Amino acid sequence: MSSVLHAIFEPGFFSSELTPAAIGGLVAIVAAGVGAFTVIRGQSFAGEALGDIGSAGGSSAYLVPVPAIWGFLAITVAAAGVMELIGIQRARGRDLATGIVLGFGFGLTALFLYLGTTTTSTTGAPIVILFGSLAEISSSYLPIVLALGGITAAILVALYRPLLLVSVSPELAAARGIPVRLIGAAYLIALAVAVALADLTIGAILSTALIVGPAATALRLTSRPAHAALAAAGIGLGCVWLGLLLAWDSYYWPHHGWPVSFFVVTLIMLVYLLAGVRRPNAARARRS
Amino acid sequence: MFSGFMVHAWIVATLVAIVGGAVGFFIVMRGSAFVAHAIPNGSFAGAAGASLVGVSTLLGLGVFSLGGALGIAMLGRRGRHDVATALTLVFMLGLGALFLSFSVEYEPELTSLLFGEVLGISNNEVWPTVGLAAVSLLVLAALWRPLLLASVLPENSSGVDPFRIELAFLLLVALATTMTVPVVGTTLIFSLMIGPPAAARALTVRPGVALALSVLIAVAVVWTAIALSYNTNWPIGFFVGAFSASAYATGRLWSFAVQASARSRHQRPATVLTSR
């Protein structure tokens, strides 16, 4: 028995992967909870755009000496504000508004990375910001992640009922006197914070995987939003932890040391596909 | 700025702008911004994989952008379309991260792949780009009527299978992606494909005129971006992103001004126009 365990958990896993496991797990739970609403509201593109734009904030951290998380956070919240202002709440034209903001954000990333690598001779910056480096994350991030995750979870719990109604039927919500736009804006801020956390964890351009993947999988398995949010949190947590474990074990595979982000994203994709196999009828019924 | 190898850069970049502006017109018409973002971004994995196994970058880009287009189309048939797009994208990017970790020398190539490198266009990329541009424009011309009809009236496309139209459209985006990535990079093609056509749509409602205008604006954006990138040495992607966003903002302001003056001329109640 112990030899089997030993083969699965290669030596040193528990001592050195504790911080990544804690931070990654926390982020996975928050991201999946927020993501359930992202999928219900059909805002995957907004999540993706916020994550990508976050790369501009992450790369600016190589120019000004602050931890990357603050760069991610500042720019995702700012971008969420801009998107809200130029009309993300309307289905018509919101893709364009999102896209324009996203394109501009990537332009800034290009500039910041260029300035960062030429003025400070930093190497590896693009990889870390865009594709993440959960395995090397510093334990000093833990309090920040805990605080930001807590705030996001609090917003979600406080807004749960009105947000659900607004997401499922804006007209009905408006008729009941719920401030639809205000709730939408508050949700977008929560999404921005969750995306900033995901950016930090698995990288700016992969953050969508944590937001959308587990939630979409959970919504294939159950149609109850609360169950879906909980299931999504479990799936996200499982994928991140298993990804960390596989990445740790991969030091003994060819090419030594495969990236954590690759495993996490691949696991999320696999789980999503498996959930589709299990309930093909449900998926078809929803589409029609 | 116009000597030697820069001539190739100008030719390739102009072709890229023409195709980007034309294909982008349909992206904007169909509201497919997310797909247009996902296919080029995901094709990054193809370029990273190509350098790993030692084949041409264009081949890798082509294989992965076509694969991405097919993946989005297939997954999108079952389940939510935006979720399918998002997951296909991140999966391809995850593969890209893996390929990157396998190859040793990546940093400058990675940056130019993501954010574009006009000065690095080599001679042997000119002819494949010309070929791809010609094919893209021919496909676009052949698809013009059905694609336009399906884009304007998705429910009423008179006998054409919407899935086949969508597939043809995705493949067109993949084609345009393959030729565009080496110039403006995976992340910024999208700006080029969205900004100019969105600006054109704001200026005119006639499809033919909008298409021409979109191509013109795209060419202007790319030319200015190359000139500034050459002189400042800043990445071309920054200028493409900034100018595309400015073009869109200008178009929006213009149409807003036109609407406002029309409204005051006709003395219509403001609620009629703003309620949509």
Residues of B in contact with A265 (CB under 8 A): 90-91, 93-94, 97
pLDDT digits (tens, 9 = 90+) for A145-156: 899 999 999 999
Q: What is d(CA B101, CA B232) in angstroms, rounded to the nearest whole number?
A: 31
The three-class DSSP label of residue A151 is helix
pLDDT value of position A218: 93
**Site from B37, B90, B100, B102 to mutate, A interface, most A CB atoms within 10 angstroms:** B90
Task: State how far residue B195 is from chain A, nearest Cα, in angstroms.
Answer: 6
* Percent of chain B whose predicted confidence (pLDDT) is above 90: 9
Residues of A in contact with B245 (CB under 8 A): 100-101, 103-104, 107
For A63-82, b/e burial (b = at least 16 CB within 10 A) is beeeebbbbbbbbbbbbbeb
Asked whether the beta carbons of residue A103 and residue B95 sit closer than 8 angstroms, the reply is no
pLDDT digits (tens, 9 = 90+) for A212-225: 999 999 999 988 88
Q: Give the model's confidence band at B275: pLDDT under 50 very low, under 70 low, under 90 confident, else very high.
A: very low
The residue of chain B with its CA nearest to that of A275 is: B79
The residue of chain A with its CA nearest to that of B96 is: A262
Whether B157 and B203 have beta carbons less than 8 Å apart is answered as no
Least confident of A282-286, B40-44, B50-54, B91-95: A282-286
Residue with token string 């996902």: B38
- Give me the mean pLDDT over the A108-137 stretch: 75
Task: State how far residue A2 is from chain B, nearest Cα, in angstroms.
Answer: 31
Residues of B in contact with A42 (CB under 8 A): 80, 82
What average pLDDT does the structure give for chain B?
A: 81
Q: What is the model's pTM? A: 0.83
The length of chain A is: 288
Q: What is d(CA A39, CA A106) in angstroms, rounded to the nearest whole number?
A: 24
CA–CA distance from A172 to each of A164, A176, A178, B219 (Å)?
11, 6, 9, 46
**Site from A44, A60, A219 to mutate, B interface, most B CB atoms within 10 angstroms:** A44
Asked whether the beta carbons of residue A261 and residue B78 sit closer than 8 angstroms, the reply is no
Is the CA virtual torsion A2, A236, A228, A282 positive or negative?
A: negative
Least confident of A190-204, A227-241, B91-105: B91-105
pLDDT value of position B163: 79
Whether A167 and A40 have beta carbons less than 8 Å apart is answered as yes
Q: What is d(CA B222, CA B184) in angstroms, rounded to the nearest whole number?
A: 9
Residues of B in contact with A257 (CB under 8 A): 101
Q: Which residue has the higher pLDDT, A120 or B166?
A: B166
Minimal Cβ distance to B90: which of A113, A206, A257: A206
Residues of A in contact with B106 (CB under 8 A): 127
Q: Give the model's confidence band at A60: pLDDT under 50 very low, under 70 low, under 90 confident, else very high.
A: confident
pLDDT value of position A215: 93
DSSP single-letter state for residue A136:
G
Least confident of A50-64, A161-175, B109-123: B109-123
- Give me the mean pLDDT over the A59-68 stretch: 79
- Give me the mean pLDDT over the B111-120 stretch: 71
Task: State how far residue B237 is from chain A, nearest Cα, in angstroms.
Answer: 5
Q: Is the pLDDT of residue A278 over 70?
A: no
Residues of A in contact with B93 (CB under 8 A): 131, 205-206, 265
ipTM: 0.84
Q: What is d(CA B128, CA B132) in angstroms, rounded to the nearest whole number?
A: 6
pLDDT value of position B230: 83
Q: Give the model's confidence band at A233: pLDDT under 50 very low, under 70 low, under 90 confident, else very high.
A: very high
Asked whether the beta carbons of residue B194 and residue A212 sit closer than 8 angstroms, the reply is no
The residue of chain A with its CA nearest to that of B248 is: A100
pLDDT digits (tens, 9 = 90+) for B212-222: 999 999 999 98
The residue of chain B with its CA nearest to that of A255 is: B102
Whether A44 and B83 have beta carbons less than 8 Å apart is answered as yes
Work out how many CB contacts closer than 8 A connect A with B: 196
pLDDT value of position A90: 58
Q: Give the model's confidence band at A1: pLDDT under 50 very low, under 70 low, under 90 confident, else very high.
A: low
Residues of B in contact with A212 (CB under 8 A): 83, 86-87
Asked whether the beta carbons of residue A103 and residue B101 sit closer than 8 angstroms, the reply is no
Task: State how far residue A1 is from chain B, nearest Cα, in angstroms.
Answer: 32
Residues of A in contact with B198 (CB under 8 A): 96, 100
The residue of chain B with its CA nearest to that of A128 is: B97
- Give me the mean pLDDT over the B105-128 stretch: 69
Asked whether the beta carbons of residue B237 and residue A107 sit closer than 8 angstroms, the reply is yes
CA–CA distance from B242 to each of A212, B1, B113, B188 (Å)?
28, 22, 18, 10
pLDDT value of position A150: 93
- Give me the mean pLDDT over the A69-97 stretch: 78
Asked whether the beta carbons of residue B191 and residue A113 sit closer than 8 angstroms, the reply is no
pLDDT value of position B257: 85
- Give me the mean pLDDT over the A56-85 stretch: 84
Residue A177 backbone zone (phi > 0: left; psi -120 to 50: alpha; other: beta): left
H or E stretch covering A258: none
**Site from B81, B82, B103 to mutate, A interface, most A CB atoms within 10 angstroms:** B82
pLDDT value of position B272: 44
Q: What is d(CA B123, CA B127) in angstroms, rounded to the nearest whole number?
A: 8
Asked whether the beta carbons of residue B80 and residue A117 sit closer than 8 angstroms, the reply is no
Q: Is the pLDDT of residue A173 over 60?
A: yes
**Site from B53, B78, B83 to mutate, A interface, most A CB atoms within 10 angstroms:** B83
Phi, psi of B74, deg, nearest 5: -70, -50
Asked whether the beta carbons of residue A106 and residue B188 sit closer than 8 angstroms, the reply is yes
CA–CA distance from B260 to each of A94, B54, B206 (Å)?
21, 57, 20
What average pLDDT does the structure give for chain A?
A: 82
Q: Is the pLDDT of residue A265 over 80?
A: yes
Q: Which amino acid is at A284?
A: R
Q: Which two tokens stand for residue A71?
A: 């760069």
pLDDT value of position A34: 92
